[in-house]
Amino acid sequence: MAPPPKVLVPPKAELYTVRLPEGITGEELDIIKLTAQFVARNGKNFVTSLAQRESNNMQFHFLQPTHSMFPFFTSLTDAYSSVLRPEEGVPALLKELREGSKDLTTVLERCLNRLEWDRSQEQARQQAEDKIEQERMQMSMIDWHDFVVVVETIEFVEDEYEGLPVPPTLEELKCRIWERRKRWKWLNQLRRLRWKWMKRRCNLLRKECGQHSLRRMKEQRRLRWLVMMRLL
């Protein structure tokens, strides 16, 4: 009978361990480590002034958030800050490490558990990458031009048109269009006649108002003349 599979327990996070990114050179590593140490000692204002001062220097482009080495630089800075400015949890961590290092078996079990955990995580990552690569290979093997387009013939039943109105003929459509044009022409003529009548009516009203005002002016002049004659 096979032994039951061992249940892996996730190890504690590594507070002071930063993994090196792939493809980094020795010179880049030295510059990033030294810059991270100065930032951890002098604070975030130092990295802001340094980024502004060295904006045209290719060696300090890792200070830009869009650079591929920026996460590595940030992790290094946090690790150095934890060492230079320890928090309240550090004494408890040191006490735990001292007590855990007394028993050699516990230390070996903890190391073995981390090794197996890292190995399982690497296998899971590799399986995911293999699955993606296999799907990509299967998609590339498909001949997208080797498809046959099937065209179906739609058949209409004779009784399908029952109950529908009879479509108009070409002559009927022409007559309808001609009647609609005549109607629009008659409406336009009616609008023009109405506009002319309204315009003529307005002119007559203006003339009547003008004659009324002229008659009123003559009466006022006559009254003034009579008043003057009586006064004399």
Residues 93 and 87: beta-carbon distance below 8 Å: no
CA–CA distance, 73 with 32 (Å, rounded to integer): 6
Q: What does each of the 232 residues of the chain score in pLDDT, given as a tens digit? A: 555 666 777 777 777 778 888 888 888 889 989 999 888 888 888 888 888 888 888 888 888 888 888 989 998 888 888 777 766 556 666 777 777 777 778 778 878 888 888 888 888 889 999 999 988 888 888 776 666 666 677 776 666 666 667 778 888 888 888 888 888 888 888 888 888 887 787 777 777 666 666 666 667 666 666 655 555 4
Domain 26-138 superfamily per CATH: Surp module (1.10.10.790)
Task: Confirm if 50 and 94 have CB atoms less than 8 A apart.
Answer: no
CA distance 158 to 146: 38
Give the whole-angstrom CA distance, residue 127 versus residue 146.
Answer: 31
